[in-house]
Chains A and B, each alone.
Chain A
Amino acid sequence: MSAQTLYDKIWAAHEVRSDENGLTLLYIDRHLVHEVTSPQAFEGLELAGRALWRKESILAVADHNIPTINLENGITDAVSRLQVETLDQNCDKYGLVVFKMGDERQGIVHIIGPEQGATLPGMTVVCGDSHTSTHGAFGALAFGIGTSEVEHVMATQCLIQNKSKNMRITIDGPVAVSITAKDIVLRIIAEIGTAGGTGHTIEFAGEAITNLSMEGRMTLCNMTIEAGARAGLVACDQTTIDYIEGRPFAPTGENWKLAVSYWQTLHTDKNAVFDREVHIDGALIEPQITWGTSPEMVVSVNDNIPDPAAESDEIKSGGMRNALAYMGLEANVPINEVMLDKIFIGSCTNSRIEDLRAAAQIAKGRKVADNIKLAMVVPGSRLVKRQAESEGLDQIFIDAGFEWREPGCSMCLAMNDDRLEPGERCASTSNRNFEGRQGQGGRTHLVSPAMAAAAAVTGHFVDVRKLVR
């Protein structure tokens, strides 16, 4: 057999059938479900009188609408409440595993899947959410789908798919101390653009990637979709296996041994050919900040905001002008001089324990700057929250003037009450800086957790390396 990529191998293992045009019926192992993109799928199933194919494949949780404060009051927004109740009812009706609001295991869907050991190497994982790419950190083929496809998986356990092209991004050499997975992925998006990975599955490779913890790999794969690729992959290694062992949904006993020996085959063969290869020098990656309204609008921390006049492509320079106007920024100003109003540490990109530790390390013994109206930390799950509390991180944040909140998607997309007001500027550890993403008229700058904490205590962007003790 010819040399295969990791993606080729996972794909081949899940092919139920393929037609002459290469259209494949792909088998799905894990289906993660949340309240926003599932109600119409459940309804569709019912209207067509179809059964659910394999309920054991589903793990459901409410996350997008969940308040992060005063949980004892429930969800006060009636529209949000109905959506969450609808999920609970649908799950109860079909007998699905669901972590309801208040459950000790509740949290953001892309945090709790791995945390529970529900995401395993070699699996196909789908969810009606574009950040499903997160689970690729485990060497699983994981991608976001729309509601019609959610219904399709519920009814048939399969999806009709065309195979993507293979792309590999190698970070050559190690990255410097204090450079995080978030900086790596923002640099990648800056290099290849938000459509750079369209039509591809991206495998991440190189020393800087294998050096990452599972938390870091999840941050990296999470934002693969911001580079245009539905799925990102990191090959399974001992770091992966050590992370999974002993988690509630992970295999045990004889099955564990069988699984591990299979997982160890899940890597790209030596001579496999990629449709596209990209190399980035790890040593050149600095702390990254987005300045505009697309995740590809990125600068390094000590750079100036770019000038559209220097961009020769007319469509691009027009996009840059729109972005500067929306963001209320001027070209050629150092990004470090930009003053902030709010700080958000959270989201499926950066709300795991390691993220909270990194932010707490910077916040420790310091105070949130006077110009910051709100600095909030939203753990990705209740289990992450408990872990952080057992390490005393909550107290560090509270002492510094941060708000310590309950888990959920929160101000990443502002479907609950956590949002920016028009014109407010936020350093955010989330994944999208689109217009209005964190609230209508809100201005988002994407950064790593440590950079967000550094911005909180100084009131503006600052090279976090100056604050590391």
Chain B
Amino acid sequence: MDKFQKFSGIVVAIDRPNIDTDAIIPKQYLKSIKRSGFGVNLFDDWRYLDPGEPGKSNSERRVNPDFLLNKSRFKHAQILLARENFACGSSREHAVWALMDFGFKVVIAPSFADIFYNNSFKNGLLPVVLAANLIDQLFEDFERQQDYQLRVDLENQLVTNRAGIQMPFEIDEFRKYCLLNGFDDIGLTMQHADQIKAFEQKYFAQYPWLQ
């Protein structure tokens, strides 16, 4: 996993609450046994006007000209601004893989579904929770400004706009540490292997039917 470094990035906003993981990456693409290649089908049902299938070239499909991700100025967007309960529904990590494969590094929303929130950190995608009134403000700014950008600084837990207004966010210390260092948490857990073995010994003595 790459280390998460501070950056300024283009923002794109999707103004809908409860965007679900089926919308982020529809089921037919989950048939892949790989982790990569999902970006071209991110928000597939909204991005294209005709149905897609794995293996079918997207260049032959009709693009929805109204969907923001299809506008050339958002081609290199790195920050997704969304509404409450972002990525609810299925546990598919493919949703995170698709967002990252498109180029997103950060999603900012007032709230996230729990499983997606967890999955994000495992891949280096940063979910930032900001208060709903701040999110309203960001949506307004996005509507007004042509080339809207934000700066995200994980180390100092700050989102900053061009005017220099800082919006602090909360994040779990361990998750922050893993993102900043690009750590694989399986490796970190393996350091406790002896403790897990000791736990098992005691555990199976107490609950022998589970062995």
Contact = CB atoms under 8 A, between A and B. Distances in A.
Given A17-B195, A157-B196, A294-B18, A255 B30 contact: no
In the A-B complex, the 10 residue pairs with the closest CB atoms: A148-B122, A251-B209, A146-B119, A146-B93, A39-B33, A255-B209, A144-B91, A195-B85, A130-B91, A147-B93
Interface of B: 15-18, 20, 22-23, 26-28, 30-35, 45, 51, 54-55, 83-85, 88-93, 96, 111, 113-115, 118-119, 122-123, 172-174, 184-186, 188-190, 192-193, 195-196, 199-200, 203, 207-210
Interface of A: 16-17, 19, 21, 23, 25, 27, 29, 36-37, 39-40, 43, 48, 50, 53, 64-65, 77, 79-80, 82-83, 86, 120, 122-123, 128-130, 132, 143-149, 151-152, 155-158, 160, 162, 194-195, 198-199, 225, 228-230, 251, 255-256, 258-259, 262, 294, 315-316, 318-319, 322, 413-415, 422, 432, 434-437, 440
Nearest to A50: B186
20 contacts: A36-B31, A37-B91, A82-B31, A83-B32, A122-B207, A123-B210, A130-B115, A145-B115, A146-B96, A147-B119, A152-B185, A156-B189, A198-B111, A199-B114, A228-B85, A432-B20, A432-B22, A432-B89, A436-B26, A436-B45
For A80, A123, A434, which residue has the most chain B Cβ atoms within 10 angstroms?
Answer: A434
Contacts of A437: 22, 27
Contacts of A36: 30-31, 92
B122 A198 contact: no
A116 B15 CA distance: 45
A80 B28 CA distance: 9
B152 to A, nearest CB: 22
Contact of A194 (B83, B88, B172): B88
Contact of B18 (A27, A157, A194): A194
Given A23-B174, A146-B93, A432-B22, A16 B196 contact: yes
Given A157-B196, A194-B85, A195-B111, A440 B190 contact: no
A17 B185 contact: no
B90 to A, nearest CB: 5
A120 B208 CA distance: 13
A25 B174 contact: no
Nearest to B45: A436
Nearest to B33: A39
